[in-house]
Amino acid sequence: MVASEPALSVVIPMYNEESVLPLLVARLRGVLDALGEPYEVVAVDDGSTDRTPVALLAARRQWPQLRVLRLRRNSGHQPALLAGLMRARGGYVATIDADLQDPPETIVEMLRLARGQNLDIVYGIRANRQADTTFKRWTAGVYYRLMRRIVGNDVPAHAGDFRLLSRAAVEALRELPERAPVLRLVVPWLGFPSGEVPFERAERAAGRTKYPLSRMIALAADSVTSFSAAPLRVATWLGLAGVVLCGILVVIALIAYFNGATVSGWPSLYVAVLFLGAVQLLCLGLLGEYVARIYTAVQGRPAYSVVADTDEAESIVDSLR
Ligand code: UDP
Ligand code: MG
């Protein structure tokens, strides 16, 4: 079924979301049907190991606008979003989480704003984070402050991956050579006219979070290194400071020598060796962070691989076995 271009695509990454799927389908369908315009929903099954793919195909039988992409293996939230964005056909493309933390009704507001003011990007801004834990709120605060410093103030604070893009913005994304961009930084960086719609972030409707601390740290590290070489410069400054410090110590040592003061010398030597060792290791580590990323970029492996798209292959059922 290849329909003519829909007005709106809604991309939803899903990883083991079988418990929330029925709620999502019911609520989203109500909102989108009421829109009165042709739309498609691109559900990206990110290598789920539960019954998500089966449930999606079942839902599709009653809901022809539901299109199902299946990734070969779990590739992560950002690559799953990207897979959906690259294949979405709509004149506008919204991205939303599956767990109903982002209210689907807000998509309609985003669309109205984009059309009314001729905007290419509309961000969903979390008006409150009461539903999040104190820890998540605190780390998010630090993350967004840091990102605004690095990428610039175009990065809206508390905008996650709930947003609407125009076809032009999606095409600009598609043309980027980056394999695994951090979307919430790259999208503002594109520089299209943008607006914001506040929304109340709800509790996860069902199931558990798929974002453990390790993934949050990985996202933060990718974010910093994909937009800034500043950490590399830390090494230079530490090195300079070390040189100055050593200079002072040499002068002190010379004075002590000419005054005939015999120092055992053991503590200063000990401290200097430790200090230099630490600085060198730190600098090596920082360098390694970038080298590792150059390495993966040069390998050029795709961030995801689509095994099935209900719009292209009717044999999707085979691939699910
Ligand atoms: N997700 C995904 N692949 C992953 C992890 C998460 O597609 O490897 C999806 C998940 O199904 C959900 C969205 O990304 O639709 C956000 O994940 P989650 O709600 O668990 O994150 P949180 O809201 O807790 O930050
Ligand atoms: Mg969530």
212-267 tens-digit pLDDT: 888 888 888 888 888 877 777 777 777 778 778 877 877 887 787 788 776 667 66
Whether 219 is covered by a domain: the verdict is: no
Supply 247's token pair.
Answer: 């200079």
Mean pLDDT (the chain) is 87
- pLDDT computed for residue 1 by the predictor: 44
Is the distance from the beta carbon of residue 80 to the nearest atom of ligand 1 less than 6 Å?
A: yes
Whether 263 is covered by a domain: the verdict is: yes
- pLDDT computed for residue 315 by the predictor: 52
> Does 283 lie in the same domain as 308?
no
> Does 202 lie in the same domain as 57?
yes
Mean pLDDT over 110-125 rounds to 96
- pLDDT computed for residue 321 by the predictor: 47
Mean pLDDT over 62-90 rounds to 95
Mean pLDDT over 5-24 rounds to 96
Does 301 score more than 90 pLDDT? no
- 97 C-alpha to center of ligand 1: Å? 7
Mean pLDDT over 22-34 rounds to 96
- % the chain with pLDDT above 90: 46
Mean pLDDT over 97-107 rounds to 95
Q: Are strands 159-166 and 121-128 parallel, antiparallel or unpaired?
A: antiparallel
Report the domain count for the chain: 2
Whether 206 is covered by a domain: the verdict is: yes
> Does 165 lie in the same domain as 88?
yes
Whether 2 is covered by a domain: the verdict is: no
> Does 293 lie in the same domain as 184?
no
- 11 C-alpha to center of ligand 2: Å? 15
Whether 123 is covered by a domain: the verdict is: yes
Read off the pLDDT band of 314 (50, 70, 90): low
Does 3 score more than 70 pLDDT? no
> Could you tell me the CATH number of the domain that includes residue 162?
3.90.550.10
For residues 14 and 129, the model is more confident at: 14
- pLDDT computed for residue 172 by the predictor: 94
Mean pLDDT over 58-71 rounds to 96
> Does 140 lie in the same domain as 100?
yes
> Does 184 lie in the same domain as 250?
no
The rounded distance, in Å, linking the Cα atoms of 64 and 79 is: 25
Read off the pLDDT band of 38 (50, 70, 90): very high
Task: Tell me the per-residue pLDDT of 42-52, one tens digit each, with 9 for 90 and over.
Answer: 999 999 999 99
Whether 120 is covered by a domain: the verdict is: yes
Is the distance from the beta carbon of residue 126 to the nearest atom of ligand 1 less than 6 Å?
A: no
Q: Which domain holds residue 186?
A: 8-211+302-320
> Does 173 lie in the same domain as 56?
yes
- 99 C-alpha to center of ligand 2: Å? 5
> Does 160 lie in the same domain as 85?
yes
> Does 171 lie in the same domain as 255?
no
Task: Tell me the per-residue pLDDT of 173-197, one tens digit each, with 9 for 90 and over.
Answer: 999 988 888 998 999 988 899 999 9
- Mutation choice for ligand 1 from 16, 21, 210, 215, CB with most ligand atoms inside 8 A: 210
Is the distance from the beta carbon of residue 210 to the nearest atom of ligand 1 less than 6 Å?
A: yes
- pLDDT computed for residue 134 by the predictor: 86
> Does 151 lie in the same domain as 69?
yes
Q: Are 58 and 43 in contact (CB under 8 A)?
A: no
> Does 246 lie in the same domain as 181?
no
Q: Rounded to two decimals, what is the model's pTM?
A: 0.82
Is the distance from the beta carbon of residue 8 to the nearest atom of ligand 1 less than 6 Å?
A: no
Whether 1 is covered by a domain: the verdict is: no
- pLDDT computed for residue 160 by the predictor: 87
Whether 218 is covered by a domain: the verdict is: no
> Does 105 lie in the same domain as 148?
yes
